[in-house]
């Protein structure tokens, strides 16, 4: 059965026995750091003890912060100041994604527009 999805969570139609209350938000885990090659900040979260790899693009972090062109050396401080918002977005995107082992949750600017 199809799901209606938003960046703030799932609402509407659910499959057999699935309820929004059954979905647990991801839990905070480790900061990995800025990936200069991918222009993204990497971090992990936990889903029932299983590590979920996550990343947010530099452009998405800058948009959340209301700035542009943040230096690589300042990315960790920027992530820490936006951490709760970023982790909520990652958790919501994880809920929307198919459950595939090794799936990386990637946050881009398009995810902020929803």
pLDDT digits (tens, 9 = 90+) for 40-64: 999 999 998 999 999 999 999 999 9
What's the pLDDT tens digit per position in 3-39? 333 444 433 333 444 444 456 789 999 999 999 999 9
Whether residue 83 is predicted with pLDDT greater than 80 in this model: the reply is yes
Q: Judge contact between 109 and 59, C-beta under 8 A.
A: yes
Q: Judge contact between 44 and 51, C-beta under 8 A.
A: yes
Q: Judge contact between 32 and 76, C-beta under 8 A.
A: no
- Mean pLDDT over residues 62-75, rounded? 96
C-alpha span between 76 and 31 (Å, rounded): 8
Report the predicted TM-score, pTM, of the whole model to 2 decimal places: 0.78
Which single residue is written with the structure tokens 């595939």? Answer: 100
Set out the domains of the chain in order of their start, with CATH numbers: 25-112 (3.30.160.140)
């Amino acid at each position: 059965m199809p799901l209606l999805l938003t960046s703030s969570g799932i609402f509407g139609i659910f499959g057999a026995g699935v309820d929004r209350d059954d979905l647990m938000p991801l839990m905070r885990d480790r900061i990995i750091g800025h990936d200069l090659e991918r222009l993204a900040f990497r971090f992990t979260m936990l889903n029932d003890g299983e590590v979920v790899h996550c990343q947010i693009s530099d452009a998405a972090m800058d948009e959340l912060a209301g700035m542009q062109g943040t230096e690589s050396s300042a990315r960790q401080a920027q992530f820490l100041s936006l951490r709760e918002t970023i982790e909520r977005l990652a958790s919501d995107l994880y809920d929307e994604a198919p459950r595939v082992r090794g799936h990386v949750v990637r946050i881009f600017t398009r995810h902020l527009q929803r």
